[in-house]
Amino acid sequence: MDNYFLDKLKTFWKPHPDKPEETLESTLRALYFTAAGIPKSASKAMESPLPELDTEGIKKLSSLIEQRCAGIPLAYITGRQQFMGIEMLASPVALIPRGETEILGYQILEIARSLSIERGTLTIVDVCTGSGNLVLGLSSLIPQMKGFGSDLSPEAIEFAKKNAAYLGLQNRVEFLHSDLFESFNTKEFWGKIDIITCNPPYIPSHKVSMLDSEIVQYEPIMALDGGSFGLGILSRLIHDAPQLLKPDSFLCFEVGLGQGPLVARMLKNSKKYRQIRPFEDKAGMTRGFAACT
């Protein structure tokens, strides 16, 4: 790896706790591949030998490094992000998938595999879908799954459709422009869903501006701002999901750090779920729930 470019990137680079895969080396490798016209995520870029760059490629690499040094997120520069081991498209119209959401994804995967043994084909609805990473990742790993994704952002929905086509899942996953369950409020969906998933905006409004500048300046605020206490979407989700779920089916969603005890009480007080199971990150902090009807 060229020390000149490594030193250039070092002037800006700093580790981000929410993106541990983006080391100095993996970042530069991802930019190398992108400059060569073979865009890869930081994770994927570590799996192959670096490409040779011609004069134009070197100029392109220098420009990409400048973009990264200016604070533009790596995934938005490369247009790629890996999620649940699957290389996906990334775009500024949607939040960049992160490791904490993989915790949710793998919990759902375990539930879905168990349900599929009993039920065969499953139907999953993913609200606040963003780039579609959750429903697309799960559908990639479970062939007997039919998926739907919804989002309030029309730009995110169009991008999620592109992501589905990129992964060859356009015939199995459908994306709808919707305010949470608005587009699913029909007899076609009532009591027909096996799993509802959500990675909602859960940052309290007054704390959004305190996030890392790289997040605030480039990622969609709509995907972050959860209202006054960060619980606006979560409250609606807990209340409305049971109408769509089959008996003995699951609502699975992510929560922010420190929200676990309060959200657990919200689930219990709703009296709509017979079983409520939190799941934790490596530090033992609650990062989501699986609630069974």
Q: What are the residue boundaries of the structural domains of the chain, listed by start?
A: 3-78, 99-292
- List of residues 6+ apart from 263 with CB closer than 8 A: 231, 234, 238, 255, 286, 289
DSSP letter at 85? T
- Give, for all 293 residues of the chain, the pLDDT tens digit: 567 788 888 888 778 888 999 999 999 999 999 999 999 999 999 999 999 999 999 999 999 999 999 999 999 999 999 999 999 999 999 999 999 999 999 999 999 999 999 999 999 999 999 999 999 999 999 999 999 999 999 999 999 999 999 999 999 999 999 999 999 999 999 999 999 999 999 999 999 999 998 999 999 999 999 999 999 999 999 999 999 999 999 999 999 999 999 999 999 999 999 999 999 999 999 999 999 99
Residue 33 · residue 40 · CB < 8 Å? yes
Structural Rg of the chain based on CA atoms: 20
State the pairing for strand pair 245-254/286-292: antiparallel
Q: Give 24: exposed, middle or buried? Use CB within 10 Å, 0-12, 13-18, 19+.
A: middle
DSSP letter at 48? S
Residue 158 · residue 176 · CB < 8 Å? no
Q: Identity (one letter) of the amino acid at 286?
A: T
Total-model pTM = 0.95
Beta-carbon count within 10 A of 7 CB: 9
DSSP letter at 91? -
Domain 99-292: homologous superfamily in CATH: Vaccinia Virus protein VP39 (3.40.50.150)
